[in-house]
Amino acid sequence: MTPIMIRTLQEMQSISRHWEPGKKIGFIPTMGYLHEGHISLVKAAEAECDIIVVSIYVNPSQFGPNEDFSKYPRDLEHDLKQLSQCKVDYLFFPSDKEMYPDNYRTWVSVDGLSDVLCGKSRPGHFRGVSTIVLKLINLVHPTYMYMGLKDYQQIVVLEKMISDLHLPTIIRRCPIVRESDGLAMSSRNKYLDADERQRALSLSNSLQVVREYVAAGGSDVREAKGMMQAKIIEAEGRIDYIEIADSKTLQPVERIESGNRALVAVYFGKTRLIDNMEL
Ligand code: AMP
């Protein structure tokens, strides 16, 4: 079905103010250029919600000055086609002008969790993410918000924000959707040329290798990170970070235990890709 398009904050508010009590409202915030990973979140919402809202908004405040904000892929027609396979009631498509008017002043930051891993190499990124997601939650009033484990740190940061600010929304963690060869789906995969696309497989391969190492009883962090590094260097990726972290605090661990998370961020050409796996 074709969702009802909502372009203004006032329209969104006048609808969400009147959600029928007891109805489950599912919300999927995205930056568009939708792929099967996004659609899996919608399908998860379909399984338990009465009303589904998807938002498409390329949030300028989560991009650094030298990042890909202006060239981030945007294609509303393509997105509407993707969504027509689903039961989405509303597509919320706000404008920069309304989200960040000239006198905009308010920011949310989740200390400690936002300055490690991706936050270290993308200063201000999670401040932008936390702020926009809080604004969207306030506009949509969702019962459940569906988010992909592909962006593991994002989920941990937003769960903390929701708990610290006593928001009534619950995050549903959804599994990473991968291409058949293992590459995690991402809107940014579009930037890869054929050679980079092939080399980018080293991301999921490096995680698989460390997962097998831990499954076989390995617990040495240096050895595990060395194995991951070797896979990526072999594929001529430029490593931003390779980490094995506690799944809640995101701090590096000294010995690997079951439930820890391996996380990687690597450049292939100019494209920075991330992936992670539970160990
Ligand atoms: P984005 O449009 O990249 O901001 O992503 C919107 C939502 O889709 C986030 O919750 C992402 O974690 C999720 N997502 C992106 N790629 C995938 C994937 N390959 N599998 C599962 N969820 C994903």
pLDDT computed for residue 165 by the predictor: 98
Low-confidence ranges of the chain (pLDDT < 70): none
**Atom of ligand 1 lying closest to residue 175 CA:** 21
Question: Mutate which of 28, 30, 204 to test ligand 1's pocket (most atoms within 8 Å of Cβ)?
Answer: 30
* H-helix segments, the chain: 9-16, 36-46, 76-83, 96-99, 118-121, 125-140, 152-164, 194-199, 201-215, 221-234
Structure tokens at 100: 């960040």
Running DSSP on this structure, what letter comes out for residue 142? Answer: -
Q: Is 150 in the pocket of ligand 1 (CB under 6 A)?
A: yes
Hey, whose CA ends up nearest to atom 12 of ligand 1? Answer: 148
Question: Mutate which of 34, 38, 39, 54 to test ligand 1's pocket (most atoms within 8 Å of Cβ)?
Answer: 38
Up-side HSE of residue 246: CA atoms within 13 Å toward CB? Answer: 8
Hey, whose CA ends up nearest to atom 7 of ligand 1? Answer: 30
**pLDDT tens profile 18-46:** 999 999 999 999 999 999 999 999 999 99
pLDDT computed for residue 25 by the predictor: 99
Phi, psi dihedrals of residue 238, rounded to the nearest 5°: -100, 115
pLDDT computed for residue 164 by the predictor: 98
Is residue 38 among the annotated active site residues?
yes
**pLDDT tens profile 141-172:** 999 999 999 999 999 999 999 999 999 999 99
pLDDT computed for residue 199 by the predictor: 98
On whether the pTM is more than 0.95, the answer is yes
Q: Measured at the alpha carbon of residue 263, what is the angle toward residues 262 and 267, in degrees to the nearest 5?
A: 140
**Atom of ligand 1 lying closest to residue 184 CA:** 19
